[in-house]
Amino acid sequence: MIGLGKMGGNMVRRLRQGGIEVVGFDADEGVRSTLADETGMINAPTISGAIKKLEAPDTPKIVWIMVPSGNPTEKVVKELERRLSHGDIVVDGGNSHYQDSQRRRAILAQSGIGFIDVGTSGGVWGLKNGYCMMAGGEKHNIQTIEPILKVLAPAPDRGWAHVGPVGSGHFVKMIHNGIEYGLMQAYAEGFALMRSKDEFALDLAKISELWRHGSVIQSWLLDLTAGALAKDQKLKSVAPFVPDSGEGRWTVMETIEQGVPAPVISLALQMRFASQDGEGYTNRMLSVMRNAFGGHSMQDAKE
């Protein structure tokens, strides 16, 4: 396992609990040592050293990458291309763009190295609940890593699937994240409407807990929301700033390329952009134009 952060580290823990031997590498020596002491993971100080520790006769080496998408993943794949051999398998479980996965597969295939892209969902709860994994790749490679998928998943027979060829795993995960954006936006807007109805003085924590049972909008996301509201309904300590991941943007770009309408997902992404606008220049412009054509008053900016 290369990359022992929140996801990679917990995946090591779950694999070790399932009796699978794991060699782990991370640039942070402290993270490696702690995980090795805690789980019995074999600590490797370098990627090269990790690969050497995987030596076994007639057995392909399986290297699972859990590092940030983009250049960090690219650098790791390039190093693995140099160090792995024919029949070995690289698994990218991060949030890479599906077209990057297709390109990396083509490069590794020249050396006879297999490639699998696994869209991975579950976040910090994956250790306890298992991970939902969407795997793309050749059937024989998927069969080789199947024992790993069965341990990482919520159960051996569910929570993981071979969804298609290389690239499909990250593509399906990309769409998954786009749907996630829309769901989150709908919940947030609904609770904001209820909060603003002063006439009823609604208890949002009670309502979110109510909706968890028998409602058509019950979900794990609602479960997590109810837990948060039970602690703090006003959320005044939380800044109204919502980051967006690359996958949300990629999903919206895909809707444009395919010409498939996805207004909910697209607008949810735009709302995140709006939350990130600390300058508010767009709204300043709107106020100026409104004043110009209609003489409407403008509020002075507070110093």
Q: What is the reported pLDDT for 55?
A: 80
Indicate the range of 131-135, 147-151, 242-246 predicted with least confidence. Answer: 242-246
Mark out the alpha helices in 44-167 (DSSP H runs). Answer: 47-52, 71-83, 98-109, 126-129, 139-152
Q: What is the mean pLDDT of residues 130-159?
A: 98
Residue 303 has pLDDT above 70, yes or no: no
Q: What is the reported pLDDT for 133?
A: 98
- Is 180 a residue of the active site? yes
Per the prediction, the chain carries an average pLDDT of 95
Q: What is the mean pLDDT of residues 244-248?
A: 90
Q: What is the reported pLDDT for 245?
A: 82
Three-state secondary-structure class, residue 99: helix
Gap between the Cα atoms of 145 and 148, Å rounded: 5
Phi, psi of 195 (to 5 degrees): -65, -35
Q: What is the reported pLDDT for 39?
A: 98
Q: What is the reported pLDDT for 227?
A: 95
Q: What is the pLDDT of residues 41-62, one digit of tens each?
A: 999 999 999 999 998 778 899 9
C-beta atoms surrounding 22 within 10 Å: 21
Q: What is the mean pLDDT of residues 153-167?
A: 98
pLDDT tier, 73 (very low <50, low <70, confident <90, very high otherwise):
very high
Three-state secondary-structure class, residue 215: coil
DSSP state of 277: -
Q: What is the reported pLDDT for 57?
A: 76
In percent, how much of the chain has pLDDT > 70? 100
Cα end-to-end distance, the chain, whole Å: 51
- Is 197 a residue of the active site? no
Name the pTM for this structure.
Answer: 0.93
Residue 4 CA: distances (Å) to CA of 1, 64, 259:
7, 11, 39
Q: Indicate the helix (H) or strand (E) that contains 64.
A: strand 62-65
Q: What is the reported pLDDT for 181?
A: 96
Per domain, the residue ranges of the chain are 6-165, 174-282
Instruction: Give 6-165's CATH code, choosing from 3.30.1050.10, 2.60.120.260, 3.40.605.10, 3.40.50.720.
Output: 3.40.50.720
Question: 174-282 in CATH: which number?
Answer: 1.10.1040.10
Tokens of 235: 């959320």
Q: What is the mean pLDDT of residues 87-103?
A: 97
Residue 80 has pLDDT above 90, yes or no: yes
Indicate the range of 56-65, 107-116, 125-134, 206-215 predicted with least confidence. Answer: 56-65
State the catalytic residue, choosing from 180, 189, 209, 303: 180
Tokens of 167: 């690239």
Residue 302 has pLDDT above 80, yes or no: no
Three-state secondary-structure class, residue 177: helix
Residue 216 has pLDDT above 80, yes or no: yes
State the catalytic residue, choosing from 6, 38, 53, 173: 173
Going by C-alpha positions, the residue among 149, 87, 151 that lies closest to residue 117 is 149
